[in-house]
Amino acid sequence: MTAEPLLKLAAKMLAKHRLDAVLIGNAAAALQGAPVTTEDLDFLIRRTPLNVRKLRKMADDIGVSLEQPFYPASHLYRMVKRAESLQFDFMVQIAGIRSFEGLRSRASLVEFDGYPLRVASLEDVIKSKAAAGRDQDLAVMPILRRTVKERDAMYRAAKRARRHA
Amino acid sequence: MRNRKPSVRRKRRMGWREALRRESDRARGEMIRGKLALPMAKRVGFLRVRLPDGSGSHV
């Protein structure tokens, strides 16, 4: 199923509420070209009281409640609307990633409906999945590494072609 | 310990397995290259829907 409506909604809401977030996980990997699937969109945000307030306003705007399913074990904020297959998870920290700023600086910027969405680099997704080490993370590692290899080979081929042109 | 040579049937089976592995590898590479050829904003067919019985679907 296409994630386009959800990506458009997320990009629009993040811009409207001025929430600085980076798309991570399998959704980011898929946008970076990896043939993987997911049920939700995961984001990394800075852990500030202002951002939590922004998340609450964003949830109100979408018409969902903001849940903290694993509190206090984890500071995960979740928005769910089952009828529309909407699940947005906002995390304040993820395994393998030291700082939000670093992740943000390496992310790609994609536009959906004119709204920008930051997408984590494939290398960062791989790093976080390797550090998390859950079965579902390790299962997609070969395909993510293969995608990096194919992408790099395509870049090299394009560079060679430009040089010979 | 006796070092037995692989039988013809076993050799054939190993050949099939290797051919299958190569074909699967080639198809995976083609799928990735196809995705990479699209602009990022078009690589959006990745959402799995949760069905009422708890299972997932690519519908």
Q: What is the pTM of this model?
A: 0.89
Q: What share of chain B is helix, strand, coil (3-state, %, to 5)?
A: 55, 10, 35
Residue ranges of domains in chain A:
4-159
| Host H or E run for residue A8 | helix A4-16
Q: B45 and A26 in contact by Cβ < 8 A?
A: no
Residues from A contacting B (CB-CB < 8 Å) are: 1-4, 6-7, 26-27, 30-39, 82, 85, 108, 110-112, 119, 143, 146-147, 150-151, 154
List Cα–Cα distances, A87 to A1, A28, A53, in angstroms.
14, 15, 19
* Residue A18 banded pLDDT, cuts 50, 70, 90: very high
pLDDT score recorded for residue B56: 63
* Residue B2 banded pLDDT, cuts 50, 70, 90: low
pLDDT score recorded for residue A119: 98
Is pLDDT above 80 for A34? Answer: yes
Q: B59 and A110 in contact by Cβ < 8 A?
A: no
Quick one: average pLDDT of A57-64? 96
* Residue B23 banded pLDDT, cuts 50, 70, 90: very high
Window B:1-59, CB contacts with A under 8 Å: 28-29, 31-33, 35-36, 38, 40-41, 43-50, 56, 58-59
Give A-chain residues touching B44 at CB under 8 angstroms. 2-4, 7, 30-31
Is pLDDT above 80 for B12? Answer: yes
pLDDT score recorded for residue B55: 65
Residue ranges of domains in chain B:
8-57
- CA pair distance A115, A120, nearest whole angstrom: 16
Which CATH number is associated with domain A4-159?
3.30.460.40
Higher pLDDT, A63 or B54: A63
The ipTM (two decimal places) reads: 0.87
Q: How far apart are the first and last CA of chain B?
A: 55
Report the half-sphere exposure of A155 (CA within 13 A, side-chain side). Answer: 6
Give A-chain residues touching B58 at CB under 8 angstroms. 1, 37
Is pLDDT above 80 for A149? Answer: yes
Is pLDDT above 90 for A83? Answer: no
Of B31, B38, B45, the CB nearest to A2: B45
* CA of residue A24 relative to chain centroid, distance: 2
